[in-house]
Amino acid sequence: MNDGGQRRYGPLGRALVIIPTYNEAENIKAIVSRVREAVPDADILIADDNSPDGTGKLADELAAEDGQVHVLHRKGKEGLGAAYLAGFRWGMDHDYGVLVEMDADGSHQPEELPRLLTALKGADLVLGSRWVPGGRIVNWPKSREFLSRGASTYSRLLLGVPIRDVTGGFRAFRRETLEGLGLADVASQGYCFQIDLARRAVAAGFHVVEVPITFVEREHGHSKMSRDIIVEALWRVTAWGIATRAGRQPGRTSN
């Protein structure tokens, strides 16, 4: 991982917080309000996968009331990775310099966004991390903590990625970083999508920084975690690890 020591970073530019949604009607208004208060200069893109609970309609109402809130309506539930990729494309098409990943369910605290953006002034990618000193989780069952820690440890060791929280989804990218990750080749979802982008950033020599966050279990709705997401992450990470150890860097791009 590049230490970024001698690199001079340009200004960040406008920030876009991308919030994928599927059945988040109970959460969307509160999370948008908190983001707007925490980072008033940032815009928000709600990428809704045609939620049957009316999340998309609520998002449209929020956008009608606030010119800094935008909505991307997608045809159906295609997975977290596809939603973020669509959001990245939308953001880059609209000339944003910073693109942020953040969950809709309140597990990522909008009040911590300023720290991520401050750290990005001297980095290519900033990860909100649960597993570095100062990071913590609230109201998670031990089984979820074991799964998350285990997935990050397995990925870090197998892929040789020096990141403590490889699976975390609270992230701030410079536009140039995303342009260097080969996003057209990304097909992974869920946990695996976050691991994929992290390994691509490291392979490309980008300077990646982790800052501690507090991760809070959602209060409303249901987790999107599933057996299929876990299985996909396991086999993809294993395949990438084998390829890396064989001297190939799948998905590697140059900075």
Question: SS3 sequence, the chain?
Answer: CCCCCCCCCCCCCCEEEEEEECCCCCCHHHHHHHHHHHCCCCEEEEEECCCCCCHHHHHHHHHHHCCCEEEEECCCCCCHHHHHHHHHHHHHHCCCCEEEECCCCCCCCHHHHHHHHHHHCCCCEEEEECCCCCCEEECCCHHHHHHHHHHHHHHHHHHCCCCCCCCCCCEEEEHHHHHCCCHHHCCCCHHHHHHHHHHHHHHCCCCEEEEECEEECCCCCCCCCCHHHHHHHHHHHHHHHHHHHCCCCCCCCCC
> Does any domain span residue 254?
no
Judge whether 253 lies within some domain: no
Q: Look at residue 254 in the predicted model and tell me its pLDDT.
A: 35
3 in a structural domain: no
Q: What is the pTM of this model?
A: 0.86
For residue 230, how many other CB atoms are within 10 A of its CB? 14
Q: Is residue 7 part of a domain?
A: no
C-alpha to C-alpha distance for 76 and 174, rounded to whole angstroms:
28
User: Which residue in 160, 171, 234 sits closest to 199, CA to CA?
Assistant: 160
Q: Cα dist. 239→100, 205, 235, 247 in Å?
A: 28, 21, 6, 13
CA distance 48 to 197: 21
pLDDT of residue 221: 55
| Domain-embedded: residue 252 | no
Between helices 80-93 and 190-203, what is the axis angle to 10°? 50
Domain total for the chain? 1
Q: What is the CATH number of the domain that holds 148?
A: 3.90.550.10
Q: Provide the domain limits for residue 146.
A: 15-245
Per-residue pLDDT of the chain (255 residues; tens, 9 = 90+): 455 556 889 999 999 999 999 999 999 999 999 999 999 999 999 999 999 999 999 999 999 999 999 999 999 988 899 999 999 999 999 999 999 999 999 999 999 999 999 999 999 999 999 999 999 999 888 877 777 777 778 877 888 889 999 989 999 999 999 999 999 999 787 678 999 999 999 999 999 999 999 999 866 555 555 566 666 667 676 776 777 766 655 444 333
In this predicted structure, what is the pLDDT of residue 119?
98
The answer to whether residue 2 is domain-embedded is: no
Q: Is residue 8 part of a domain?
A: no
